[in-house]
């Protein structure tokens, strides 16, 4: 046999394996690892799914779904079928979760009739050469129960959405939609908004005083008066205490020193990563997951392409033995004194599926410092907190020492405390500490009984703060605590509410729109069980039962659907239409044609439109308040800047009246002067309410109010 024929025969004998992943980035990384004989292609997510234009659920046949090729994806499917036909083996490597299992199941069904190749499933938790090689060596069958759980969730959500949405179209406005889990999240946000609006702030005061020992000056806070916890409700209360103690002898009455053990936190789950990224980096949940996906699927580190973190959708804190050995080896080399005798195990929550490990770096040696030149700024910041959290989770506890000084002055007791880390432990690998962790006060060296000199007193007025609106971090936290949704759904839940304009972001807080509140009111009133957090959490548990083969999915769907459908029909027949609100008459007159203006509800909330439409297209914003300028008589409406479209609030008599405010008027008058109130936000106080009148000090000083108005006017100029 000639050399040429031998080479040809050898080439033909090579196993032609097609590997199908979900994304091109992942395909690019994996193809580098596998070498000759392997072709890696991307399905681009779901190729086969329910159609968007109809229900496509056969109610009479055990709720069987009617799948089709996703519009625009037929070409990709044909290419994969062609590649499969030329292969001797097909490995389905979609993500290791319910959605990924369903993608693999659909692909197997679509490819089976087009190839004689053996079609198997492979899964991995990280994209590294070792993990990929191991998964290719050990292919398995598709998990039918996991597929059933995804099918049940898809059918359940379709039945809810396709029954509630037409109800909203008929009773409220065309084009609206409602979802099973998103509606519960919307209810939580709307309920919190009601608490924010109903909260009435109460005045209280604090008092600090300067004390001195020689040239050493320090400030302590009043914590006790007349042997009781201090409660200062007015300036008069503060002045009374100051007058009593200003000439009193001041003595160090007690010094306490205590030590505290600080334990490291477990490595990240999906929800905890989203919360940490929101709080520390200011990332939205969607942004966090997008960047985590990039780190997971692979980035170029020099000449190598590597997945830097493990799979980012997980509710488990479990760590593989290989990873534990790796991180303990690194700690032994870098910080041997901070290595525990044994690896630290963290308990997995009852609701955790534990299908994956926690989110961790694939290689501990790839420190943030090592990879920083290969990552963009946001990738590096997210990778850094993942790396630090994982490595620190396997290090010794830290220890802090707190010194507390009590100073007696007449009947008053002042206190100052300072803490410092005395044994850094796991903090050695955490570069960015929180303000609470790194806050320290330098205290003078004093002894009990020592006399001190007094300096200035610093009384300060405060107002109690109401409940905070949800942020991405806090809504994810409460969804996780209540068992609503799963790691893969937290970010999409928020995104859907924002995309539908049921919720907006303001100062990183989630605020329901008028439209969102109206939808929520209807759903809560008519379908209290469906938008009940306990019911939704129970459904998630039942989906887990389907995956564990403890319940047949059609029975699970049936027990919910039939009473739900009856309720939909009842509400459809009895609920009063809200469409009248879409064209509510007003006493406003169109300035262009003189016809009456009507109040309408659009995608972005209520607005005024001319009743002469389509002959007249005039629209304008709903007045929010009366202009505070004396003698103006105009109204305050929402407006947007020409360039960036930033919202502000101005007078309808512009340009004759140039009043503007960057703070939104709220439906409340100032109890002191009667002018309208606005909502403000700052990092120190959070969200609070204040009077627009610069001469009124309700909730803040007149100087602050005047400065804000001047700032508004200068910004407009």
CATH code, 177: 1.10.460.10
**CATH at residue 303:** 1.10.290.10
Distance CA 96, CA 698 (A): 56
- Asked if residue 658 has pLDDT above 80, the reply is yes
Q: How far apart are the first and last CA of the chain?
A: 89
Instruction: Specify whether 431 is located in the same domain as 359.
Output: no
Instruction: Specify whether 481 is located in the same domain as 553.
Output: yes
Assess contact for 125 and 310: CB atoms under 8 A.
yes
- Asked if residue 439 has pLDDT above 70, the reply is no
Instruction: Specify whether 601 is located in the same domain as 699.
Output: yes
SS3 346: coil
Domain-located, residue 7: no
Question: Domain of 316?
Answer: 270-392
Domain-located, residue 399: no
Instruction: Specify whether 318 is located in the same domain as 364.
Output: yes
What is the radius of gyration, based on Cα positions, of the chain? Answer: 32
Catalytic residue of the set 33, 38, 296, 311: 311
Distance CA 16, CA 31 (A): 13
The pLDDT, as a whole number, for residue 582 is 63
- Asked if residue 707 has pLDDT above 50, the reply is no
For the chain, what is the domain count?
5
**CATH at residue 443:** 2.70.20.10
Residue after which a domain boundary falls, among 392, 417, 452: 392
Instruction: Specify whether 84 is located in the same domain as 44.
Output: yes
The tens digit of pLDDT for each residue in 153-205 reads 999 999 999 999 999 989 888 888 899 999 999 999 999 999 998 888 888 99
Domain-located, residue 397: no
Assess contact for 674 and 692: CB atoms under 8 A.
no
The pLDDT, as a whole number, for residue 488 is 87
Residue 309 sits at φ, ψ, to 5 deg, of -130, 165
Instruction: Specify whether 106 is located in the same domain as 220.
Output: no
Instruction: Specify whether 243 is located in the same domain as 307.
Output: no
Instruction: Specify whether 42 is located in the same domain as 130.
Output: yes
Assess contact for 590 and 597: CB atoms under 8 A.
yes
The tens digit of pLDDT for each residue in 330-388 reads 999 999 999 999 999 998 765 555 568 999 999 999 999 999 999 999 999 999 999 99
Three-point CA angle 8, 9, 10, nearest 5°: 90
Where residue 584 falls among pLDDT bands split at 50, 70, 90?
Answer: confident
CA dihedral 433, 435, 436, 437 (to 10 degrees): 20
Mean pLDDT, the chain, as a whole number? 88
Domain-located, residue 8: no
- Asked if residue 477 has pLDDT above 50, the reply is yes
**CATH at residue 128:** 3.40.50.140
Distance CA 361, CA 394 (A): 13
Structure tokens at 234: 């007015």
The tens digit of pLDDT for each residue in 65-111 reads 999 999 999 999 999 999 999 999 999 999 999 999 999 999 999 99
Instruction: Specify whether 457 is located in the same domain as 475.
Output: no
311 catalytic per annotation: yes
The tens digit of pLDDT for each residue in 375-421 reads 999 999 999 999 999 999 999 999 999 999 999 999 999 999 988 89
Assess contact for 567 and 531: CB atoms under 8 A.
no
């Amino acid at each position: 046999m000639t050399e040429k024929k031998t080479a040809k025969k050898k080439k033909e004998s090579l196993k032609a394996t097609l590997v199908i992943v979900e994304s091109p980035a992942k395909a690019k990384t994996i193809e580098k690892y596998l070498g000759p004989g392997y072709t890696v292609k991307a399905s681009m997510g779901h190729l086969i799914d329910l159609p968007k234009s109809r229900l496509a659920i056969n109610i009479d046949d055990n709720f069987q779904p009617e799948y089709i090729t996703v519009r625009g994806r037929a070409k990709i499917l044909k290419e994969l079928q062609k590649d499969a036909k030329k292969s001797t083996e097909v490995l389905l490597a979609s993500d290791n979760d319910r959605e990924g299992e369903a993608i693999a199941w659909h692909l197997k069904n679509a490819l089976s009739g087009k190839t004689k190749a053996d079609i198997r499933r492979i899964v991995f938790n990280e994209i590294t050469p070792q993990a990929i090689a191991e998964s290719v060596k050990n292919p398995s069958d598709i998990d039918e129960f996991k597929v059933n759980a995804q099918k049940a969730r898809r059918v359940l959500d379709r039945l809810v959405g396709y029954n509630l949405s037409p109800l909203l179209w008929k009773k409220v406005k065309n084009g609206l939609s409602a979802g099973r889990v998103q509606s519960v999240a919307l209810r939580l946000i709307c309920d919190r908004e009601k608490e924010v609006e109903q909260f009435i702030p109460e005045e209280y005061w604090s008092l600090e005083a300067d004390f001195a020992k020689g040239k050493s000056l320090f400030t302590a806070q009043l914590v006790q008066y007349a042997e009781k916890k201090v409660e200062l409700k007015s300036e008069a209360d503060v002045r009374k205490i100051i007058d009593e103690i200003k000439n009193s002898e001041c003595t160090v009455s007690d010094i306490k020193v205590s030590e505290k053990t600080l334990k490291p936190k477990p490595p990240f789950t999906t929800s905890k990563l989203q919360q940490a990224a929101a709080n520390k980096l200011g990332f939205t949940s969607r942004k966090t997951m997008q960047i985590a996906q990039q780190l997971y699927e692979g980035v170029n580190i020099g000449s190598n392409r590597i997945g830097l973190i493990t799979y980012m959708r997980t509710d488990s804190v479990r760590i593989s033995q290989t990873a534990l050995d790796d991180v303990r080896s690194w700690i032994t080399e870098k910080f041997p004194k901070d290595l525990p005798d044994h690896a630290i195990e963290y308990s997995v929550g009852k609701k955790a599926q534990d299908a994956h490990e926690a989110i961790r770096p694939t290689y501990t040696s790839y420190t943030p410092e090592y990879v920083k030149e290969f990552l963009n700024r946001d990738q590096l910041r997210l990778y850094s907190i993942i790396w630090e959290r994982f490595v620190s989770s396997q290090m010794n506890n830290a220890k802090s020492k707190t010194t507390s000084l009590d100073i007696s002055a007449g009947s008053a007791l002042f206190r100052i405390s300072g803490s410092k880390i005395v044994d850094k432990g796991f903090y050695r690998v955490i570069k960015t500490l929180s303000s609470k962790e790194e806050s320290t006060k330098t205290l003078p060296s004093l002894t009990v009984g020592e006399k001190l000199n007094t300096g200035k007193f610093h009384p300060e007025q405060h107002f109690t703060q109401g409940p905070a609106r949800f942020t991405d971090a806090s809504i994810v936290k409460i969804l996780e605590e209540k068992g609503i949704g799963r790691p893969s759904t937290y970010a999409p839940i928020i995104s859907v509410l924002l995309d539908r304009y049921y919720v907006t972001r303001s100062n990183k807080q989630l605020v329901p729109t008028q439209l969102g509140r109206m939808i929520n009111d209807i759903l809560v009133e008519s379908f209290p069980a469906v938008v009940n957090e306990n019911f939704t959490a129970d459904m998630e548990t039942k989906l887990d039962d389907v995956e564990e083969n403890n319940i047949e999915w059609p029975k699970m769907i049936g027990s919910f659907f039939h009473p739900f459908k009856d309720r939909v029909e009842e509400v459809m027949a009895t609920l009063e239409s809200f469409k009248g609100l879409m064209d509510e008459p007003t006493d406003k007159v169109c300035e262009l044609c003189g016809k009456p203006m009507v109040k309408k509800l659009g995608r972005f909330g209520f607005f005024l439109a001319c009743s002469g439409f389509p002959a007249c297209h005039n629209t304008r914003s709903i007045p929010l308040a009366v202009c505070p300028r004396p003698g103006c008589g105009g109204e305050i409406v929402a407006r947007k800047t020409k360039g960036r479209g930033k919202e502000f609030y101005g007078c309808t008599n512009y340009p004759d009246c140039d009043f503007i405010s960057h703070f939104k008027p709220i439906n409340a008058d100032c109890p002191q002067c009667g002018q309208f109130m606005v909502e403000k936000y700052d990092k120190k106080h959070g969200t609070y309410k204040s009077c627009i009148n610069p001469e009124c000090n309700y909730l803040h000083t007149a100087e602050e109010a005047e400065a804000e108005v001047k700032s508004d006017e200068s910004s407009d100029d």
